[in-house]
Amino acid sequence: MRLVLSAALVLSSSIAAVAPSSAQETPGDAAAGRRIAEAWCAACHRIDAKDDRPLTEAPSFAEVAQLPSTTGLALNVFLHSSHENMPNFQLTQRESEDVIAYILSLKAR
């Protein structure tokens, strides 16, 4: 799973390198994204840096946020691609923007 996530984010960051910087910004609502993550993602991912549940194979959202390749564009590509070890959630564009905004809010500045 981590390899697939890393590969998708690396590929996406290559695309982001040639895209205008505005393509990397996300208009989403981080609070709404957290609520979506709590409902749909928390069964497999630690969605909060303060979450102390035992680790699973799925990376925490904080780990994803810290990857150098994590951008709004990379996350958007990842969320709209099928992955072997993930359920095939069908997020609306707004839901995707909100989840992306939440993950990016976890990025250390």
Which pLDDT does position 54 carry in this prediction?
73
Which residue carries 């992955």 as its tokens? 83
| DSSP conformation class of 68 | T
Neighbours of 16 (CB within 10 A): 20
State the pLDDT at residue 101: 97
Q: Are 65 and 106 in contact (CB under 8 A)?
A: yes
CA separation for the pair 4, 87 (Å, rounded): 14
Q: How many residues does the chain have?
A: 109
Strands (E), 42-97: none
Cα–Cα distance, 27 to 98 (Å, whole number):
8
Q: Could you tell me the domains of the chain?
A: 2-16+27-105 (1.10.760)
At 7 the pLDDT is: 43
Per-residue pLDDT 10s for the chain (109 aa) are: 454 444 444 444 444 443 434 344 568 999 999 999 999 999 889 998 777 777 778 899 999 999 999 999 999 999 988 888 888 888 999 999 999 999 999 987 6
* pLDDT given at position 52: 73
